Amino acid sequence: MQQISALSLKVRLQAGEQLNLLDVREELEFHTCNIGGQNLTLSKLTEEMDDINANKNDELIVICKAGMRSTTAQALLIAKGYTNVKNLTGGLLALQRLPV
C-alpha cells in the first residue's frame, strides 16, 4: 500500500497544493486539531463512502492521529475501488514532530 511521509505532506501543504485529505478520526478529535480536508470517521467510512469529495482515481491522502486507523481506512477504500490512496505514515503525530 502507498504511503506518504509527514515531511512530504508538509512540503506539499506549504507549497499550497490542493490535496484530497480524508481525516478518519472522530469528530471531536478533528475539531480539536486538524490540517484541513474532509472528516469522515473510520466507524462510518463504509456506510458513508459515497460522501467522499474525490473521484476513485484521484490521489486521496488518509490521515489519523498515529497512522493505525488510516491504514485500516486505506484498505477499505482500496477494496471499494479507490486506486490512489496514500496513508500518512505516523499520522498527525509525525507531522507535529517535524521542525517548524
Distances (CA, A) of 71 to 15, 25, 36, 42, 52: 25, 12, 19, 10, 17
Does the pTM surpass 0.85? The reply is yes
What pLDDT was estimated at residue 100?
83
Give the per-residue pLDDT at 32: 96
DSSP labels, 14-69: HTT----EEE-S-HHHHHHS--SSEE--HHHHHHHGGG-SS-TTS-EEEE-SSSHH
Set out the domains of the chain in order of their start, with CATH numbers. 2-97 (3.40.250.10)
Region 61-76: mean pLDDT is: 98
